[in-house]
Amino acid sequence: METPTKLPPSSPSSPTTGFSVPSAEKVDGFPRRSMRRARQRRSHSSSQFRYQSSQVELTPLPLLKDAPVAELHDLFCKKLQQCCVLFDFLDCVADLKGKEIKRAALNELVESVATSRGVLIEPLYPEAIKMISVNIFRTLPPSENPEFDPEEDEPALEASWPHLQLVYEFFLRFLESPDFQPSLAKRYVDQKFVLQLLELFDSEDPREREYLKTILHRVYGKLLGLRAYIRKQINNIFLRFIYETERFNGVAELLEILGSIINGFALPLKSEHKQFLVRVLIPLHTAKSLSIFHAQLAYCVVQFMEKDATVTEHIIRGLLRYWPKTCTQKEVMFLGEIEEILDVIEPSQFIRVQEPLFKQIAACISSPHFQVAERALYFWNNEYILSLIEENCQVILPLVFGTLYRVSKEHWNQTIISLIYNVLKTFMEMNSKLFDDLTSSYKVEKQNEIFRL
Amino acid sequence: MAGAEGDDSLYPIAVLIDELRNEDVQLRLNSIKKLSTIALALGVERTRTELLPFLTDTIYDEDEVLLALAEQLGSFTVLVGGPEFVHCLLPPLESLATVEETVVRDKAVESLRKISQEHSPVDLEVHFVPLVKRLASGDWFTSRTSACGLFGVCYPRVSSTVKAEIRQHFRTLCSDDTPMVRRAASSKLGEFAKVLELDYVKSDIIPLFTALASDEQDSVRLLAVEAGVSIAALLPQEDLEDLVMPTLRQAAEDKSWRVRYMVADKFSELQKAVGPEITKNDLVPAFQNLLKDCEAEVRTAAANKVKVFCESLPEDSRETIIMTHILPCVKELVSDTNQHVKSALASVIMGLSTILGKDNTVEHLLPLFLVQLKDEYPEVRLNIISNLDCVNEVIGIRQLSQSLLPAIVELAEDAKWRVRLAIIEYMPLLAGQLGVEFFDEKLNSLCMAWLIDHVYAIREAATCNLMKLVEKFGAEWAQNTIVPKVLGMANDSNYLHRMTTLFCINALSEVCGQEITTKHMLPVVLKMSTDQVANVRFNVARCLQKIGPVLDSSALQAEVKPVLEKLATDQDMDVKYFALEAISVLALA
C-alpha cells in the first residue's frame, strides 16, 4: 500500500530522500546488524530541549508532610511548578542536583495524591495538568532504526524516563484519586489534550505505552464527554496506520483499551460501532506487523460477536477477503482467530458462512506449509466446532472431502497425514452413507480424469 | 437479427462475465486487462449500455482487480464513442474513487483527472462537477479525500458561479474533521492555488494555507510546506512578506522535526519562489538554523542543499553570505556526530569550490575536505573522492594528492568488499586527474593487488578497471606497466589467479591492439591450454574466441587453430564445448 500523500521519511533510510538509501546498503554488504548496534549507541535525541535556553536553578522546598495544613496547597502548587522544569537526560551528568530535586518533588507529589485525602482542590487542577502536559507532550524523535521491527529489535528507550515515569505515575494517581472530580478536570483534560496523549502511543518505549494505556483507559472511564472523541481519534490513527504509513507503535495498546470499551457497548449496537468493526478492525488484519497486535485484535473481534451475533457474517467474510496469500505465519494467525470465533459462534450464524469458510479451510489443509495445514486440522479437535460440523455434515463434508482425500495421499508431512486420517475417520463415523457416496464419486471422477488424458 | 449472429456478438461479454466470476484472481485480472478488446468487440453502443453498467454494478473485488479496472477506464474514451459520451465512464470511476485501498483510489482519481480533459465545458458542468461535489460531501473519508484531487482539473473550465461553489467545497475540506482529508487537501492546496485567479489566491488560499500550516497534526502541517512554496511562486513580490512569510518562518521553527525536515527538503524550491531579497533576510538565518537543528534527519536534509542554496544566492552578496553565515555551519557539520549528516555534506561540499574560487577554496574548504577524507565512515570518504572533479577544475588535484593517497589506500584495503568495489569504480576518474606519473608511483600497485582479491566481484571490477586505465593512458603505457604483471600471473600456483590473467586479456586485447595481443598475450594464452585445471583450459578457449577478431588471419590459422582443435578433443565436456564454439565463431573449421 502506498501513501496517498508524500510524507517525509521517519528515518534516514526511507526511499524518498536521496542521501539515505545508498548510505550503508551501497557501501556495505552486511550492514544491518553492525549498523544497528552502532546506531543504538548514538545518543537518543529529544526535540524537547530545543527551546529551553536558560535553565532554571531549582532549590529544594520543604517537605509536603511537614507543611502546616494551611500552607499545604500552596506548597503543593509550588512543587507542581517546580516540576515543570525539564532536564537534559542525554547528558547524564548535567545538573544532577536539579534532577534529584525534581525527582524528590515528583515522588512526594505521587505519594501525596495517592495517600492523603483533600489535597486535590480546584485551583490545583490547571497546575497539575500543566505540569503533566509540559513533561509528557513532546514530538517523538525520529526512530533510530529505519526498519525497526518490534519483534526483533530492542526498542529505543526514553532517556528522561526517571522523571517521565514519575509524571505518568502522578497523572495516574491523580485520575484514580477518590478526590478526583471529572467535572473540574474536563476543563483542562480537553480534546486537544487527548489528541496529544494519543499521539504519544507511537512511542517506541513499551514502558511509556503501558502507562499511556492505563491512563487513557481511566480518562475514557471518567470523562464521559470525551468518549466519542477518543474513539474517533483512535479510528483515525488506525486508518492512517492501515492505509498510509503502516507505522505506529501503540496499536496493540489501543486495541487493548478498545477491547474493554467494546465490552461496554450498549445494545443494539450503534451504526458507528458496526462501521468501526467493518471499516477499521477488519482491515487492520491486512497490516504487515499483524503479529504484534493480533491477540488484542482477535479479542476485540470476538467481543463484538459476543455483543451482537448478527455481525458474525461481516467478520467471517471480511477475514476471508483479507486472507493472507503468501504469508504463512499470518495464515496461522487467521486460523487461530477463526477458531476463537467459531468457539462462540451461534449455530444459525454458522450456517450462513459455512460454505465460503470451509472452502478456505480446505485450501489451508492442502497448504504445503505443514503448520498451516496442521492449524486447520486442529479444528476437528474442538468439540464445539465438531458439533457444528456434524450438524451440517451434508454441506461441509462435500466441500472438504476431495481435499482431504487427495492430501492424505500426497502430503509430505507424516503428522498431517495422520491428522487427516483422524478427520476422515471422524467423518466416516458421522455419516458413513455420505462418506461412502463421496468416496465412490471421487473415484469415478478420478477415473474420468485419467480417461480424458 | 439472426439468432446465430446475436449469439456471436454476445460471446465476448459472456466470456468476460464468466471470467470475472472465476475464483482465480489471476483469471479475473486477465479478463479486466483485456477489457478494451472486449469493448472493441461489443462496439461503442453496447459498451455504454451493457458493459459499463455491468462493471458498475457487479464489481466488488480484490484490490488488484479494481486497480486494473481503474487504470483501464482512464483510456476508455474512444471505446465508448469519444468525448461526446465520455461521461458514461464516471459512475464506475466514482465508486472506485471511494474504495478504502489508497492505491486503487489514487488510480481512479488519476483516471478521472485524465478524462476530465475530454469533457466539453458543458458536460463538465453537467456531469463531472456534480460527481466532484458528491465525492466532496461523501460520508466516509475516502470519497472526500478523492475529491481533493479533482477540484484543480475542473476549476479553469467552468462558469464563475460553479467556480465559487468549487472554492467553497475546497474550503470545507480543508477544515474537515478527519486528518486524512485535511492531509489530502493540504497536499493539493498548491495545485489548486495555481488554477485560481490571483485575487482568490489572496482571499481564499492564503487563509487556508495559514490554517493548514498550523494544524494540530504535524502530518498536515508538513504537507502545507510544499503548498507554501507553490503559493509563494504565484504571488507578486510585494505580497510575499505579509501573506506567506510569517507562516513559512513558523514552519522552519516548527516543534515537530518532520515539518522542519520538510522545510529543509524543499529549501531550494522555496529559495527560488521567494526571490533574492527575502532569501537574504529570511532564508539565510533559517538555513543556518536548519543546519544546526537538533535532529540529525533535519541536518541531513539541509546539508544536502548546501551547494544548491549557495549557488542560487544573489550574486552581489553570494560570497559574503557564504563566508560569514554558511561556512561556519558547514565547518561544524564536518565533525557532526551523525554519519548521515557528514555523508550528505561530503556529497555536496566539493561543489562549493567552484562558487568560492581558488583562494577561498585553498584557505577555507581544503581543510574541510581533508578532515572528511579522514572520516571514520567509508561512505563520507567515498563521497569526497567521487566528487574530486569539481575541485580539480578550481585548484587542481595536486593540492589534495598527499592526503588523498592514504584515504584511497585505506578504502582500497577496507575489510568490506563493497567499499573496495566503490573505490575501484573511481580509479579511472582519479587516474585521469592525478596523471600517469602519480598513478604509476602510487596507485598502480593497488590496482594490481585487486586482481588477486579473494572476492570475485572485486577481481572482475579490477579487470574492467584495467581496461579503462588503458583507454586513458594508451597501449604503450599498458605494455610497459600492466601487461607484464598480468601475464606474470599466468604462472601463479593458484588457478583463480591464472584465470584472472585470461579475464584481463579478454578485457585488454582490444584496447591494446593487434601487436601487443599477438606478440605478448597470445603466447601466454596458448601455453595455458595445457593447464591441468579444466576451468583454466575452457577459459583459454573462451579467451581465444574473444581475442580472435583482434588477431590477423595467419596467427589464427597457424597458432590458434591447432590449439583449439586439440582442446576440442579434451576429455572434459566443458572444455570441448567451448573449444568447438570458438572454432565455429572464428570460422576455423
One DSSP character per residue, B243-300 reads HTHHHHHHHHT-SSHHHHHHHHHTHHHHHHHHHHHHIIIIIHHHHHHHHT-SSHHHHH
Work out the angle at residue A45's Cα, subtended by the Cα atoms of residues A42 and A47, and round it to the nearest 5 degrees.
Answer: 165
Whether ipTM > 0.90 holds is no
The full DSSP string for B433-466 is: HHHHHHIIIIIHHHHHHHTT-SSHHHHHHHHHHH
* Cis peptide upstream of residue B83 (ω within 30 degrees of 0): no
Using 50, 70 and 90 to split pLDDT, how confident is the model at B4?
very low
DSSP state of B89: G
Residue B8 CB burial class (10 angstroms; 0-12, 13-18, ≥19): exposed
**What is d(CA A89, CA A164) in angstroms, rounded to the nearest whole number?**
11
Per-residue pLDDT of chain A (453 residues; tens, 9 = 90+): 333 333 344 443 333 333 333 333 333 333 333 343 334 334 444 444 444 544 667 777 878 777 777 788 888 888 899 899 888 887 777 788 888 888 999 998 999 888 888 888 888 899 999 999 999 999 888 877 766 777 777 888 888 899 999 999 999 999 999 889 999 999 999 999 999 999 999 999 999 999 999 999 999 999 999 999 999 999 999 999 999 888 899 999 999 999 999 988 988 889 999 999 999 999 999 999 999 999 999 999 999 999 999 999 999 999 999 999 889 999 999 999 999 999 999 999 999 999 999 999 999 999 999 999 999 999 999 999 999 999 998 999 889 988 998 998 888 989 999 999 999 999 888 888 888 888 888 888 888 888 876
Q: Helix B257-265 crosses helix B284-291 at what angle (to 10 degrees)?
A: 120
User: How far off is chain B from A23, nearest CA to CA, in Å?
Assistant: 7
- Give the tens place of pLDDT for each residue, B310-329: 988 888 888 889 889 999 99
- Residue B59 has what pLDDT? 65
pLDDT tens across B138-154, in order? 989 999 999 999 999 99
Which of A19, A24, A49 lies nearest to residue B300, judging by beta carbons? A19
Best probe of the A interface among B178, B297, B454, by most A CBs < 10 A, is B297
Q: What CA–CA distance (Å, rounded) separates B146 from B181?
A: 9
Q: Coil, strand or helix: which one is A186?
A: coil
Quote the minimal CA–CA distance from A47 to chain B in Å: 7
Q: Which of B327, B329, B325 is nearest to B298 (CA)?
A: B329
Contact A12 B255 (CB under 8 A): no
Quote the pLDDT of residue A276. 93
Class of residue B477 by CB neighbours under 10 A (exposed 0-12, middle 13-18, buried 19+): middle
Q: Cell numbers 585470461 correspond to what residue?
A: B502
Report which residue type is found at B382: L
Closest CA to A352 of A388, A380, A298, A322: A388
Residue in chain A closest to B184 (alpha carbons) equals A5
Confirm if A232 and A270 have CB atoms less than 8 A apart.
no
- DSSP string of A336-376, one letter each residue: HHHHHHHHH--HHHHHHHHHHHHHHHHHHHT-SSHHHHHHH
Grid coordinates in use for B53? Answer: 453498467
**What are phi and psi for residue A185, nearest 5 degrees?**
-65, -35
Helix, strand or coil for residue B216? coil
The total of other beta-carbon atoms located within 10 Å of residue A116's CB is 14
Residues of A in contact with B338 (CB under 8 A): 42
Q: How far, in Å, CA of A53 to CA of A386, rounded?
A: 69
Instruction: Tell me the whole-structure pTM to 2 decimals.
Output: 0.79
- At residue B180, the pLDDT reads 93
Q: Is the CB of residue B323 less than 8 Å away from at least one CB of chain A?
A: no
Chain A touched by B191 (CB under 8 Å): no
Does residue B103 belong to the interface with chain A, where contact is any CB pair within 8 Å? yes
Which of B103, B216, B265 comes nearest A195 by C-beta? B216
Is A4 close to B223, i.e. CB distance below 8 A? no
pLDDT in tens, B48-102: 888 888 888 766 677 888 898 899 899 888 888 888 888 888 999 999 999 888 9
Residues of A in contact with B418 (CB under 8 A): 26-29
Residues of A with CB under 8 A from a CB of B: 1-12, 17-20, 22-24, 26-30, 42-43, 45, 47, 49-50, 139, 141-142, 192, 195, 232, 236, 239-240, 243-244, 279, 283
How far, in Å, CA of B589 to CA of B585, rounded?
Answer: 9
Each residue's pLDDT tens digit, B477-526: 888 888 888 888 888 889 999 999 999 999 998 888 888 888 888 999 99
Q: Is A249 helix (H, G, I), strand (E, B) or coil?
A: coil
For B213-257, what is each residue's pLDDT tens digit? 999 999 999 999 999 999 999 988 888 888 989 999 999 999 999
Question: CB–CB of A6 and B187 under 8 A?
Answer: yes
Chain A residue numbers with beta carbons less than 8 Å from the beta carbon of B179 are 236, 240
**Which residues, numbered 359 to 388 in chain B, qualify as contacts with chain A under a Cβ-Cβ cut-off of 8 Å?**
378-379, 382
Give me the mean pLDDT over the B447-455 stretch.
Answer: 88
* HEC string for A128-159: HHHHHHHHHCCCCCCCCCCCCCCCCCCCCCCC
Note whether B308 contacts A: Cβ–Cβ < 8 A: no
Give the model confidence (pLDDT) of B199-216 as tens digits.
998 999 999 999 999 999
Residue B179 contacts A, CB cutoff 8 Å: yes
The C-alpha atoms of residue B415 and residue B431 are separated, in whole angstroms, by 23
Asked if A50 and B255 come within 8 Å (Cβ–Cβ), the reply is: yes
For residue B91 the three cell numbers come to 459512475
Q: Are B584 and B546 in contact (CB under 8 A)?
A: no
Q: For the purposes of burial, counting CB atoms within 10 Å of the CB of B177, is it exposed (0-12), middle (13-18) or buried (19 or more)?
A: exposed
By the 8 A CB rule, do A332 and A372 touch? Answer: yes
Q: What does the buried/exposed string (b/e) look like for B210-227 if buried means 16 or more CB atoms within 10 Å of the residue's CB?
A: bbbbebebbbbbbbbbbb
Which DSSP letter does residue B324 get? Answer: I
Burial class (CB in 10 A: 0-12, 13-18, 19+), B255: middle
B338 touches chain A (CB under 8 A): yes
Question: Is-contact B333 B341, C-beta < 8 A?
Answer: yes
Residues of A in contact with B141 (CB under 8 A): 239
Predicted confidence at residue A57, as pLDDT, reads 74
CB contact under 8 Å between B223 and A244, yes or no, is: no
> A276 with A231: CB under 8 angstroms?
yes
